[in-house]
Structure 1
């Protein structure tokens, strides 16, 4: 997927701002297991965003999309599907919060079908241009991972070669899928220039 480098730079800069605000507001919190509930509170207070969070009765096990945000006038509604384990629930809520933090009207797409067709899914596919809404999905995912499992810690783990994915996923309370994906050499190398 072809990602606009300036958007990625802006995204990571915003994540750093949020991480600093989080650190100041929640002094003494465990840095490796950042609370997504605290992030929700931070978005509601520090960013003064009106955010409601609902759990839909449909099972996430039956859908490709596990969560989404609806923008309504002066408020946001986050909907996560049911049957997500703790790690997945944390991740999808965090990703949707970063959609709100990074909110840009040009990235909106109200057509789920168009959105899914255009989302090719990864930073390892750098030559495939896609519409802004699909880029926004990947940028929100990158932002969520930077918040939950920062690049510096990923690079250190990869350098030491200690790739016990289940233990890493448990330590950071993230889905193992994302521990594996974001610890690949391709992801580390493609994101390196944005973290020096």
Structure 2
């Protein structure tokens, strides 16, 4: 499965802009554990939107959250029956749709999106992902980049190799699920995607 390269570059650029605004907003330096509430305030100011986040009760094996769009506000719904780290990650991932999605990426059919994602995640033939699936995957990537910034990862990889830390400890430091730390540190993604795109952005600055 392939993610559109141009779209990925745009996503990383938007994440960089949010990083910069967040760092300017936070007084006293940026903590390792990102504040989801501060992030919501920053994005609300950047995009001129009222963004409301609520926990809701709903059943669903695959649905952790959703976003509802209105002309001047956004409603983010996070499933209440999940671990705190998943609530944090879900809240940021849904917020990332506000940051990265263009109108053609918006989906009004959640069931079809989920069915499509289940197929897309298991594709191995290199076909470019459908737009809605691509939007979901890019929102997940953007959430990882916001909650577990790239600047920490080389050091963490060295500590892991020396057995001075674990995935669980890293996940606890950043308040995210261990599986997302694993995805961020996966060799192909870290070396060939994140590293390449962050280097390009740094050189262009």
The two structures have a TM-score, normalised by structure 2, of 0.86
Matched residue of 1:45: which SS?
helix
- 1:178 to 2:180 alignment: yes
Provide, for residues 115-135 of structure 1, a one-character-per-residue CA deviation record: whole Å limited to 9, x for no partner: 12222238x958132211111
Aligned partner of 2:170 in structure 1 is 168
Matched residue of 1:51: which SS?
strand
Aligned residues: 193
Aligned partner of 1:75 in structure 2 is 73
Q: 1:80·1:93 contact (CA, 8 Å) conserved in 2?
A: yes
The structure where helix makes up a greater share of residues is 2
Aligned partner of 2:141 in structure 1 is 142
CA distance in 2, matches of 1:141, 1:47: 20
CA distance in 2, matches of 1:97, 1:63: 21
Task: Provide closer, same or farther for how the CA distance between residues 45 and 101 of structure 1 changes in structure 2, counting only shifts above 3 A.
Answer: same
Task: Provide closer, same or farther for how the CA distance between residues 82 and 126 of structure 1 changes in structure 2, counting only shifts above 3 A.
Answer: farther
Provide, for residues 64-121 of structure 1, a one-character-per-residue CA deviation record: whole Å limited to 9, x for no partner: 0100111122221111111222211111111111110113110012112221222223
Gaps (5+ residues) in structure 2?
A: 200-205
Provide, for residues 126-158 of structure 1, a one-character-per-residue CA deviation record: whole Å limited to 9, x for no partner: 813221111111111111111111223223322
Aligned partner of 2:156 in structure 1 is 157
CA distance in 1, matches of 2:96, 2:75: 13
- Runs of 4+ residues deviating >3 angstroms: none
Q: 1:3·1:126 contact (CA, 8 Å) conserved in 2?
A: no
Matched residue of 1:52: which SS?
strand
CA distance in 1, matches of 2:184, 2:7: 19
Aligned partner of 1:109 in structure 2 is 107
Task: Provide closer, same or farther for how the CA distance between residues 149 and 125 of structure 1 changes in structure 2, counting only shifts above 3 A.
Answer: farther
CA distance in 2, matches of 1:167, 1:57: 30
Q: 1:155·1:188 contact (CA, 8 Å) conserved in 2?
A: no
CA distance in 1, matches of 2:125, 2:49: 33
